[in-house]
Amino acid sequence: MAKNQQNAFFDGDKQLRKIEEQYPFFQILNEDGEVVQEEALPDLSDEKLQELMKRMVYTRILDQRSISLNRQGRLGFYAPTAGQEASQIASQFALEKEDFILPGYRDVPQLIWHGLSLRQAFLWSRGHFEGGRIPEGVNVFPPQIIIGAQYVQAAGVALGIKKRGEKAVAVTYTGDGGTSQGDFYEGINFAGAFGAPAIFIVQNNHFAISTPREKQTAAATLAQKAAAAGIPGIQVDGMDPLAVYMAVKAARERAIQGGGPSLIETVTYRYGPHTMAGDDPTRYRTSELDNEWEKKDPLVRFRKFLEKKGLWNEEMENNTIEKAKEDIKAAIKEADNAPKQKVTDLISIMYEELPQNLREQNEIYKAKESK
């Protein structure tokens, strides 16, 4: 069959172009803090805009202090978040208290702003069992270490919300690398098939540890992967807090009205290493690329926007920074004073009712600990 005859049945390139056109880049604020879509501006009061900025500044300080604490040996596992504040904090800002967050390991800031204490966040980093004991009324799960596993869990939580008839959503996060995992597809497909109220957020920071996004998928966007599950997807400027807020808010409203799940790709960047466990980003990222993304810094962009409106100044920023430092200092001290973890602590909280083998082990360890 001649090529022109083949194209009469199937023009693959044309089909790909058509798919890509359905996932344009959504932005409200450009790099200079200028509004490029007036009609898309969120209906947020001046106080709410200031609160969002405070949370982003606070989170940047939390990241800086957490890196220092990790280097001092006072924290365990830590994945830096600088650069992703708009993606993380603005997405959580669009949620309600009754919504559930199922995070990846870089998503601790969202948990804190959803109600988890700094003390518990620090204990989780240390591997202390108290760090994973979520208080009643705080609708979050402990950070998931297995890449993409939280997507399957979020689909299940969302289905439970639907079956109970609640007006809430389950929100989960993964990175660009997570979209190459089987759990990612299983999660979005299950939620789509059952119309579960879930919001799947992909934080595309361009590198899965050291692997560039272009080497793990031929898809022009990650948002378009939603099409395979029959759910809507959108690609958002992940350095623009207002665009992220509006995308998540719209997805939430759609979900609680029975519209089912959505997939949101936030195009962002992490300024630091993948984790503090020996990753060296200079081996796979150029200084030119880092400089390019630093010009898109979400804090700088939002600060310019608020300053033009007379809603932010140096004093407010400094007060927020000092508040963050004080809170972090107090929380790490509380974490230092937490009871030393024992094997029996872990065994006793593993099940509501311990099976026989664990009851026997628990008695053995109790005897050892009493000596």
Tokens found for residue 205: 């920071």
Residue 65 has φ and ψ, to the nearest 5°, of: -70, -35
Q: Is 274 a catalytic residue?
A: yes
What dihedral do alpha carbons 44, 49, 51, 56 form, nearest 10°? 120
Q: In the structure encoding, which two tokens stand for residue 126, read together?
A: 């240390």
Name the active-site residue from 274, 285, 301, 303. Answer: 274
Residue 234: closest CA among 254, 258, 212, 217:
254
CA angle 173, 288, 108 (to 5 degrees): 20
H/E element holding 279? none
- Maximal CA-CA distance, the chain: 84
- CA dist 79 and 277 (Å) reads 9
Angle at 173 between CA 223 and CA 84, to 5 degrees: 90
- Of the listed 55, 252, 270, 285, which one is catalytic? 270
369 membership: H or E segment, kind and range: helix 356-369
Question: Contact 86/298 with Cβ under 8 angstroms?
Answer: yes
Q: Which amino acid is at 23?
A: Y
**Catalytic sites, residue numbers:** 270, 274, 284
